[in-house]
Structures are given as C-alpha cells and as structure tokens.
C-alpha cells in the first residue's frame, strides 16, 4: 500500500470511528435525558452550560442559542424549564440587564458529572492498556476532527 493510500485508509477509519462515536453519543444523550426526565434539547443545553463553566466565555442565552441553533424563544423556554427543574440558574449580566448568564446549579452539575462518571470509569478501563503516546496522538486527532466540524458548521451557517 502506498503512503497516500495508507493515509486515505487511516482518515476513512477515523471518519468511521467518529460516526460510531456520534451514534453512541446520541444513545448516551437519550439515556441521560430519560434518567433525569429532560428532553434531548434540555440535556444538550445543560451540557453546554456545564461545559462553559470551564471556559473563559460566559454562557449567555445568546451564546447558547448560537451553539444549539435554536430560536431566542426556544432558548428562553429551555432555560426557564431547566431553572424550574433546579438544573440551572439565571443571573443578570453586569452592565447590561437585558443579557442573562446561565450557570448550572449544584444539582445540575452533579447530575451531569454523576452520569458521566460511569462513562469515565468504562473509558478508563477500555484505555488502560494504551500507552500515553497513543492517547496523546488520539487527542491530537480528536482536536483536528473537532476543528474540522467547527469549520463545517461555520461554512454551513454562512
């Protein structure tokens, strides 16, 4: 097999792995939603809000709307339902009371972390025999795949 053919083969394998990961993620989304009695969109919104806590950008309703591709009214309704369910709370944005910052409550963060702790345990077991170098390479490959998906999304929104 030529170097170019091997490269195309490896890229096809990674693409197939990404599709399988997407399918498994969809199942996980439904399972979490059932356990917490949330809709898929409520689950997605909660995940975005929880993940945003580890980033420098504040999770506003506008940012969430763009990430989820939903209308402002749909995001307002989602945020209201999640707040009523005790999963998140809304804060006024400093200097602009029209903006709302969305933050997970302890209950919301614990629900996400608790559910994904089991996934993390299984992931740890599945990767126990892989050398660190393989994990570093996988991380670089996943980062590249994420960037490609972000680029695709950006071009789709134009």
Please give the distance of CA 158 from its chain centroid, rounded to a whole number. Answer: 22
Query: How far is residue 135's CA from residue 146's CA, in Å, rounded to a whole number?
Result: 16
pTM: 0.73
Name all domains of the chain by residue range, CATH numbers in brackets: 3-126 (1.10.10.10)
Query: How far is residue 46's CA from residue 102's CA, in Å, rounded to a whole number?
Result: 9
pLDDT at residue 158, as a whole number:
67
Query: How far is residue 79's CA from residue 63's CA, in Å, rounded to a whole number?
Result: 13
Residues 41-60 have pLDDT tens digits of: 998 899 899 999 988 888 99
Query: How far is residue 97's CA from residue 93's CA, in Å, rounded to a whole number?
Result: 6
Residues 95-120 have pLDDT tens digits of: 887 888 999 999 999 988 888 888 89
């Amino acid at each position: 097999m030529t170097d170019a053919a091997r490269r195309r083969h490896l890229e096809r394998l990674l693409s197939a792995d990404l599709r399988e990961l997407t399918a498994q993620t969809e199942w996980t989304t439904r399972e979490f939603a059932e356990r917490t009695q949330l809709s898929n969109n409520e689950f997605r919104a909660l995940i975005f809000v929880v993940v945003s806590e580890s980033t420098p950008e504040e999770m506003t309703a506008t940012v969430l709307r763009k990430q989820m591709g939903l209308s402002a009214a749909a995001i307002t309704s989602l945020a209201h339902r999640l707040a009523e369910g005790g999963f998140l709370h809304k804060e006024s944005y400093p200097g602009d009371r029209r903006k709302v910052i969305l933050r997970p409550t302890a209950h919301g963060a614990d629900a996400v972390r608790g559910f994904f702790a089991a996934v993390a345990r299984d992931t740890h077991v599945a990767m126990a025999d892989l050398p660190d170098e393989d994990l570093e390479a996988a991380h670089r490959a996943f980062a590249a795949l994420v960037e490609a998906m972000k680029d695709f999304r950006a071009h789709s929104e134009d």
